[in-house]
Amino acid sequence: MELNTLNPGKAAKGKSRRRIGRGPGSGFGTTAGRGQKGAGARKSAQAGRVAFEGGQMPIHRRIPKRGFKHAGVEFQIVNLKKLASCSVTEFDAQVLFDQGFIRKPELPVKVLAFGAIDKAINVKVNAISEKAKAAIEAAGGKVEII
């Protein structure tokens, strides 16, 4: 075996691309795999558009619209129960993220009063419920809204 006699394996070469519209020998000559006539055979056909129904009024325009879309702020929720179970006493978005309580530190965080707390903690969050704020301050902690 010599270096000049080596050939790449069949799997290494991969599958060759289809050469469309290059004569009858390629198997994709004449109509280039587009069939005979119709919108699909034309160059700038609209038939491939999403939700296109052949010129009929599309369903998303036929059906009446109802209600509205809520564009409010989506908070990441943290409960007092989780804060009480943690050994850390200073909480902000980055600490909550490091502890695994929230998914993204850049999104707003809200503390809710599910569970009880018996130690003094300092919390720096975007929003907090009244009950949670009262519980933290009763335990000797501080709440800062940012």
For residue 112, the one-letter residue type is L
Q: What share of the chain is helix, strand, coil (3-state, %, to 5)?
A: 25, 15, 60
- The dihedral over CA atoms of 26, 28, 30, 34, expressed in degrees to the nearest 10, equals 180
What predicted TM-score, i.e. pTM, was given to this entire model? 0.53
pLDDT at 132: 94
What is the pLDDT, as a whole number, of residue 141?
92
What pLDDT, on the 0 to 100 scale, is given for residue 46?
A: 60
Per-residue pLDDT of the chain (146 residues; tens, 9 = 90+): 899 999 888 888 888 888 988 998 888 888 888 888 887 788 776 666 788 887 899 999 999 989 888 788 899 999 999 999 988 889 999 999 999 999 999 999 999 999 999 899 999 999 999 999 999 999 999 999 98
pLDDT number for residue 48: 67
Summarize pLDDT for 83-102 with one digit per residue, the tens.
999 888 899 999 999 999 99
pLDDT number for residue 79: 94
Is-contact 79 112, C-beta < 8 A? yes
**CATH architecture of the domain formed by 76-145:** Ribosomal Protein L15; Chain: K; domain 2 (3.100)
